[in-house]
C-alpha cells in the first residue's frame, strides 16, 4: 500500500500473506494489484475511449494491416497489464 498510491498512478501492488509454520512457510490470501485500466478508471479516464481514439489514429497510418494490428494488440495488452514492471 505504501508503494502504490494513486497520486503516482501506480495503484495497488500485488500482495500475499506469508504464514510461517514448522515446515517453512505458506503463501495465502494472494490479491492481484491494479491494472492500468483500473488506475485510469480511478482518475476518470475511460480506457475504452482511449483505445478507440488510439485505433482511429493507428488506422490513419500508412502501414501494413499487420503492423497496425500489432500496435493495437500492444495497447490492449498494456491496458490490461499490471502498473508495475512485468515480463
Q: Which three cell numbers stand for residue 74?
A: 500492444
Note whether 14 and 61 are within 8 A (CB).
no
Query: What does the pLDDT read at residue 86?
Result: 74
pLDDT digits (tens, 9 = 90+) for 38-83: 999 988 999 999 999 999 999 999 999 999 999 999 999 999 998 8
**Location of C-alpha cell 482511429:** 56
Arithmetic mean of pLDDT, 7-21:
86
Q: Report if residue 50 sits inside a domain.
A: yes
Q: Report if residue 67 sits inside a domain.
A: yes
Query: What does the pLDDT read at residue 26?
Result: 97
Residue 35 in this model has a pLDDT that exceeds 60: yes
Q: Which three cell numbers stand for residue 26?
A: 505458506
pTM of the full structure: 0.71
Q: Report if residue 35 sits inside a domain.
A: yes
Q: Report if residue 1 sits inside a domain.
A: no
- Burial code of 51-79, b = ≥16 C-beta within 10 A, e = fewer? beeeeeebeeeeeeeeeeeebeeebeeeb
Amino acid at each position: 500500500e505504501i508503494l502504490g498510491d494513486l497520486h503516482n498512478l501506480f495503484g495497488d501492488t500485488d500482495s500475499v500473506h506469508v504464514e510461517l509454520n514448522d515446515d517453512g512457510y505458506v503463501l495465502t490470501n494472494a490479491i492481484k494489484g491494479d491494472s492500468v485500466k483500473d488506475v485510469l478508471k480511478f482518475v476518470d479516464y475511460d480506457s475504452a475511449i482511449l483505445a478507440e481514439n488510439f485505433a482511429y489514429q493507428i488506422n490513419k497510418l500508412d502501414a501494413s494491416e499487420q503492423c497496425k494490428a500489432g500496435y493495437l494488440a500492444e495497447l490492449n495488452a498494456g491496458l490490461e497489464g499490471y502498473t508495475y514492471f512485468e515480463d
